[in-house]
Amino acid sequence: MQVSIRELKAHLSQYLYRAQAGQSLEITSHRKTVARIIGVPTTSDNGLTRLLAGGAATWAGGKPTGAGLRLTAKGTPVSQMMLEDRG
């Protein structure tokens, strides 16, 4: 849908709702397209959501307990290295 800058300014919120609903807007100045507005969907589709939806991961609704993996420190702590580097 093509919209002039003047029309966009006059009815900005209306056009933003349309863009959010999935309609692409081309903004024109003197009948030339100068910009496009593409809405951002209201639902976020992050990686975890896709894994859950695809069945690759499951969640029982409780607080995650982790994998039971304990990391052990070997070598010089980063904080110590930074102190040595500053001095």
Q: How confident is the model over 69-82, as pLDDT tens digits?
A: 777 888 888 888 99
Question: What are the residue ranges spanned by the domains of the chain?
Answer: 2-37
- Beta-carbon contacts of 51 under 8 Å, excluding residues fewer than 6 positions away, are 57
pTM of the model: 0.48
- Tens of pLDDT along 54-73? 888 887 888 777 777 777 88
**What does DSSP assign to residue 39?**
P
Are 8 and 33 within 8 A, CB to CB? no
Examine the pLDDT at 32 and tell me if it is beyond 80.
yes
